[in-house]
Amino acid sequence: MSHPTGSRSKAACGTKIPPATHPIGQRTLWILLAAIGLSSILLRQAFPIVAIAAPHDDYLFITLAESLLQGRWRGDYNHLTHAKGVAYPVFLALNQLAGWPLKLTEHILYLGAALYFSHMLGRIVNARWLTIVTFMLLAFNPAPWSPVVGGRVIREGLYTSLTLLMLALALRCYMLPDGTSVRQALRKHWAGLSLLGLVGGVFWLTREEGVWLLPSMGMLVVYGLMVRWRQGVAILPALAYLGLPLMVAQLPIQTVNTLNYRQYGVYHHNDFHSPDFVAAYGALSRIRHDAWQRYVVFPKDARERAYRFSAAARELKPHLEGDLGQAWRAIGCDQTRTTPCPEILSGWFMWALRDAVQAAGHYQTAPQAAAFYRQLATQINTACDQSPGECLPRRQTLVPPWRPQYAADTLRASAQIATTLTNLHGLPIGPGEGFGTPKQLDTMARITHQPVAAPPPSATLHQMAMGLAAAQRLILRYGLPLALLAGAWATLQALRNRKLNACHAIGLALTAAIAVRVLLLGFLEATSIPSNNMLYLSPALPLALALIPVACAAHLQRHTTSTAT
């Protein structure tokens, strides 16, 4: 894991740079990294779990993990069985078998991914200081100390680590300058490429919006291919170089699909990727509204049209218009502090719909539920096609119908979300309050191997965490905008001079990941559900922290290059 000199600097930045010297010895490097990691673990262990027995979130993952531990795959079939990805429940079950405290395992995995990512940066740029600074920033990421992110038993505890690990493996396989051709790189990195695919498959099975990382991954892949293409053109090795991770990623995905088919009779891994549910949701959302209301996808007047259009929809009427619908309306309105709030808001309607189908008796089996959703979609779409004035064009998506104001609203919301990220708004540090019945709390403690009523951290550790969080807030508030501006300027100059290098490519990839995540949340904030919060931003937070030292490294290398020439 040493940092070769001279030729690597030249390959990394595409310019003449004097042979690198390392004022930090390798032994000192690993002592510092170990000290940072151990300090991070000590601080993380001071903050307890926040036990939230939310049936559609934290406690759902617990119950799915318990079913796995009992050998029943995802348990008895109901409307929540395929509502969330299976990767985090599998992680919970494996951790329970290992007997480790959940938050310790999550943090060790995160630190491992952060260390590997930081090490790859240091090797590519040939700067040990970059490894140390990046790892220190990532190790003291304040999100794990917050009850709204790290305290919860929720999939972001795994998802953030997978995000970093995917980027680190992409750096290893596509960006590490070794002077090899595509064919040679394929032989050298086949194991890393396979691991990248495996991690990517698990990443896809953890949350539903995995596409947000694809532009960044694409940038790293394209840059790596461009550099190696100069060593010789070989179409088939290039296709294998690109395709191996994609093929391996299918292994965990198709394994889950196969197990679901064997157990439940449907070949998919998540209902929100299922064409049947998506078709039904899209059909309901194409019905016109008498008056548009933000965050409302299926108001009273549209429901009345649906009941007139479809016998399947009429089966849901007693539930959507009854206590079940009122409960979901109240939940959404309370959580968003929306008044007046006469309708079920769109972020909660998908759950209200599933609950109504369950209450109507159509979740006895997975094929039965799929058939009902197909019937509902067919009946609504047929009636809409016959009465086009009452409906929009056919649609098969969970995205709400587009309105012109959404473009400006998305940009405005994205700016506010970027401000949340740079200022760490809504990220309290310390213990939080949970809820649940004694039985639910006991189950959570048993699955996580952690007490759900643990004492708060000591005053010293709490103050230390508060101080570090304040420091990180300052670093992000001033460092991230400067890094973005400096990176944009350096990249434009490099493109103009045709000297785009690995430093620029990494900076662009990190910037793209942050920007796409922020824009995605901005679109959701503008159209569907309040999304301006640090829980949803937490996968992008380490990337924002890492971008700052990467921009510094690019500036220092540019200065070194100018001096050398």
Instruction: Count CB neighbours of 423 within 10 A.
Output: 13
Over the chain, what is the mean pLDDT?
A: 91
Dump pLDDT digits (tens) for 408-445. Answer: 999 999 999 999 999 999 999 998 889 999 999 999 99
Dump pLDDT digits (tens) for 128-162. Answer: 999 999 999 999 999 999 999 999 999 999 999 99
In this predicted structure, the answer to whether residue 8 has a pLDDT above a threshold of 70 is no
On the 0-12 / 13-18 / 19+ scale of CB atoms within 10 A, 80 is buried
Cα–Cα distance for residue pair 554/560, rounded to 1 Å? 10
Dump pLDDT digits (tens) for 57-76. Answer: 999 999 999 999 999 999 99
Structure confidence at residue 477 (pLDDT): 96
Q: What percent of the chain has pLDDT over 70?
A: 93
The first and second tokens of residue 223, run together, are: 């840059």
pLDDT band at 18 (very low <50, low <70, confident <90, very high): very low
In this predicted structure, the answer to whether residue 226 has a pLDDT above a threshold of 90 is no
User: Is the alpha carbon torsion for 471, 474, 480, 485 positive or negative?
Assistant: negative
Instruction: Count CB neighbours of 528 within 10 A.
Output: 19
pLDDT band at 7 (very low <50, low <70, confident <90, very high): very low
Looking at per-residue pLDDT, the higher value among 135 and 451 belongs to 135
CB 332 within 8 A of CB 398: no
pLDDT band at 17 (very low <50, low <70, confident <90, very high): very low
Q: Residue 141's Cα: distance from chain center in Å?
A: 16
Dump pLDDT digits (tens) for 272-322. Answer: 999 999 999 999 999 999 999 889 999 999 999 999 999 999 999 999 999
Cα–Cα distance for residue pair 391/309, rounded to 1 Å? 11
CB 370 within 8 A of CB 274: yes
Structure confidence at residue 499 (pLDDT): 78
Structure confidence at residue 496 (pLDDT): 84
Structure confidence at residue 563 (pLDDT): 47
On the 0-12 / 13-18 / 19+ scale of CB atoms within 10 A, 535 is middle
Dump pLDDT digits (tens) for 180-216. Answer: 778 888 888 899 999 999 999 999 999 999 999 999 9
Structure confidence at residue 22 (pLDDT): 65
Least confident span in 15-19, 44-48, 268-272, 423-427: 15-19
Q: Is the peptide bond before 340 cis (omega within 30 degrees of 0)?
A: yes
